[in-house]
Amino acid sequence: MEEKGFLVEWDKKYIWHPFTQMKDYLASDPLIIERAEGFYLIDIEGNRYIDGVSSLWVLVHGHGKKELIETIKEQADKLCHSTLLGIANVPSILLSKKLIEIAPEGLKKVFYSDNGSTSVEVALKMAYQFWQQNNEKRRKRFIKFSNAYHGDTIGSVSVGGIDLFHKIYKPLLFKTYKAPSPYCYRCPMKLKKDTCGLACVDAFERTVKKYKDEVCAVIIEPVVQGAAGMIVQPDGFLGAIWKITKENGLLFIADEVATGFGRTGYMFACEKEGVKPDFLCLSKSITGGYLPLAATLTTEEIFNGFLGRFEEYRTFFHGHTYTGNPLACAVALKNLELYKKDKIIERLQEKIQLLENELKRFYELPSVGEIRQQGFMVGIELVQNKKTKRPYSPKEKIGQKVIYEARKMGVVIRPLGDVIVLMPPLAIDDDLLKELLDVTYKSIEKVTV
């Protein structure tokens, strides 16, 4: 629409987009979203697109959900913001009770922040400080996994393991110990999934045994390493990692920023293998995709480790300006009520099956190396040579090309390198889900066959 041309101009003139090569972006015809309805995003020209990655993994009930919008309006009439530093507000209290009710056993306290990265920072700092002020000063390190992604702040980058994003910052990062990721398609230990006997768990155990006296905690994305390309952990991996961590007296941080709130088919991925973490990091779908909010849940034991006389300074000196924002907490609470009312997790199970069945035919495409699915998290890894698993050259920008094709056919998705990601909103209906898959199939076919 001509009268909106200034938006394109101003976007290119003023905005620096995240995770985006701006040279390419400036030469492109940008997609500018103006509205949304249900599971569709609508651009400034009125074109409709299925929201195939839930607006970066957050959307649950769809856009424009009346109950959620009403909740924000009602809360806005009462209170938009008041600090949580030393005083309380109503929605943050109600939400914290609800989170503790649904979280894995043993988690008793909620510390709020505003995004996934900060929820991780909070867990890292709490774990470190806990040991520092509880007579274990030598514990200063963390154990992480290769291919891990925990956010973009320097602390969360320190426990990350994706070279493409993290390597350049190495001189700025704190020291960690790394265990191999269970990326079975390209096993870092060069083993085969059926016969390896989870050798990566043994490697993890060796790392734990070697360094346990200097380690605060182990941090992991339970069940799926999302940003690395939806790397799904083999059955038994998570439970074994947790068991080894606890047997060796270390704290366990479960980063469920991506996997939390049903994405894996479980309310929390930890449930899959009965894991009871010492910290649970939450964000993304916590508000159903309506406002930014994050929470770090922890145990009574950790909380008690910070209690003391004022002048002892055992306080957790951390807190963001918008910590516990009432609007975000109110909509998060309503979001969780809707999970129950609309039976989101129960109804998801059939849709997961549908997704699995529909994905099988993608293997017919010569470029599809592996399809990884856990619940509603899907990664389709495209390769130049299926037999040798040789990847495409980055110059070819295959992932990018596929999503541009999909866009032409009315679908918004986003790749992770040459892994095509699908992360549909949990409440999406079957027909739309099929359409999303259809378009994705055709887009891969068009670009790679």
Ligand X SMILES: Cc1ncc(COP(=O)(O)O)c(C=O)c1O
**Which spans of this chain sit near ligand X (rule: CB under 6 A)?**
115-117, 120, 149-151, 221, 226-227, 255, 257-258, 283
CB of 60 to ligand X, least distance (A): 16
Q: For 190-198, which contacts have Cβ atoms below 8 Å and span 24 or more sequence positions? A: 193/234, 198/234, 198/236, 198/237, 198/240
Q: Which residue is nearest to ligand X (CB)?
A: 116
Instruction: Please give the structure tokens belonging to residue 389.
Output: 């698993």
Token pair belonging to 7: 């938006």
CB of 55 to ligand X, least distance (A): 12
Which of 207, 146, 208 is closest to 181 using CA atoms?
146
Least CB distance from residue 162 to ligand X, whole Å?
11
Among the listed residues 258, 259, 241, the one whose alpha carbon sits nearest the alpha carbon of residue 250: 241
Count CA within 13 A, CB hemisphere, residue 263: 33
To the nearest whole angstrom, how small is the minimum distance from the Cβ of residue 237 to ligand X? 16
Shorter beta-carbon distance to ligand X: residue 58 or 411? 58
Smallest separation, CB 156 to ligand X (Å): 6
Strands (DSSP E) along 99-230, which ranges? 107-113, 141-145, 176-179, 215-220, 224-225
> Toward ligand X, which CB reaches closer, 120 or 291?
120
Which CB sits closer to ligand X, 120 or 333? 120
Q: Which amino acid is at 398?
A: I
Judged by CB, which is closer to ligand X: 120, or 371?
Answer: 120
**Nearer to ligand X (CB atom), residue 160 or residue 305:** 160
Beta-sheet pairing, 415-416 with 419-422? antiparallel
**Residue linked to tokens 């700025």:** 172
Instruction: Tell me how far, at minimum, the Cβ of 329 lies from ligand X, in Å.
Output: 16
DSSP state of 409: T
Q: Which is nearer to ligand X, 117 or 147 (CB)?
A: 117
Q: Which is nearer to ligand X, 229 or 305 (CB)?
A: 229
- Contact indicator for 301, 295 with CB cutoff of 8 Å: no
Q: Supply the minimum distance, in Å, between the C-beta of residue 364 and ligand X.
A: 30
CB of 231 to ligand X, least distance (A): 12
Q: Where are the beta strands (DSSP E) in 321-367?
A: none
CB-nearer residue toward ligand X: 305 or 424 = 424
Which amino acid, 434? K
Block residue for tokens 């003391």 = 308
**What whole-number distance in Å separates Cα of residue 403 and Cα of residue 380?**
12
